[in-house]
């Protein structure tokens, strides 16, 4: 299996500098996570942008879609910030011949208590087991695009009927 990975930034790749929450989006962490896990499949990582998801524009979403459509891979992982991940997933519905999973983290991958490693693992499992379609993998669950929202107060994603 060749897995194409596109990174966009978000909390998963954030680097914090002080207690006042000043941050930058650092280098993508997904490669380090997969290397540490000793995965036995081939993957390619391409960083498309380094943005907090609240800064991702419709133009950025069109770039993500164009990269997905141009990819030869039929299984694609996208790391993304959690605030607008569901919105980006809906834009990707034009790529229904591929299995695409978006994931991210509530805590940066560089933090000891991160959810990033678990979410990446869940996303990889979803990529291997779900039929073609667009999904989000967060909080130990796989959600269909268009039927999921972030519950900021509870710090988790939840299904709804779209």
Q: How many Å apart are CA 23 and CA 152, to the nearest integer?
A: 20
The residue count for the chain: 162
Phi, psi for 87 (deg, rounded to 5): -65, -45
Q: What is the pLDDT of residue 18?
A: 65
Residue with token string 């499992």: 125
Domain span at residue 89?
A: 2-159
Q: What is the pLDDT of residue 54?
A: 94
According to DSSP, residue 113 is labeled T
In the three-class reduction of DSSP (H, G, I as helix; E, B as strand; rest coil), residue 115 is classed as coil
For residue 51, which of 16, 92, 93, 23 has the smallest C-alpha distance?
23
CATH code of the domain covering residue 17: 3.40.50.1170
For 100-132, the pLDDT digits (tens) are: 999 999 998 989 889 999 999 999 999 999 999
pLDDT at 33 over 90: yes
pTM of the full structure: 0.93
For 126-145, the pLDDT digits (tens) are: 999 999 999 999 999 999 99
Tokens standing for residue 132: 């073609």
Q: How many domains, the chain?
A: 1
Q: How many Å apart are CA 32 and CA 134, to the nearest integer?
A: 25
pLDDT at 155 over 70: yes
Q: What is the pLDDT of residue 17?
A: 67
Q: Confidence band (pLDDT; 50, 70, 90) for 55? A: very high
């Amino acid at each position: 299996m060749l897995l194409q990975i596109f990174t966009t930034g978000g909390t998963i790749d954030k680097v914090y500098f002080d207690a006042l929450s000043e941050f930058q989006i650092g280098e993508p962490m997904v490669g380090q996570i997969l290397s540490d896990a000793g995965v036995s499949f081939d993957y390619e990582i391409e960083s498309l942008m380094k943005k907090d998801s609240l800064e991702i524009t419709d133009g950025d979403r069109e770039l993500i879609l164009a990269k997905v459509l141009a990819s030869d891979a039929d299984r694609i992982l996208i790391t993304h910030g959690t605030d607008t991940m569901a919105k980006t997933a809906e834009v990707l519905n034009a790529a229904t011949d591929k299995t695409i999973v978006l994931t991210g983290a509530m805590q940066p991958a560089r933090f000891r208590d991160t959810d990033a490693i678990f979410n990446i693992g869940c996303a990889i499992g979803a990529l291997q087991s779900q039929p073609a379609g667009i999904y989000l993998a967060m909080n130990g669950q796989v959600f269909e695009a268009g039927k999921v929202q972030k519950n900021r107060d509870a710090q988790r994603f939840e299904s709804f009927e779209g």
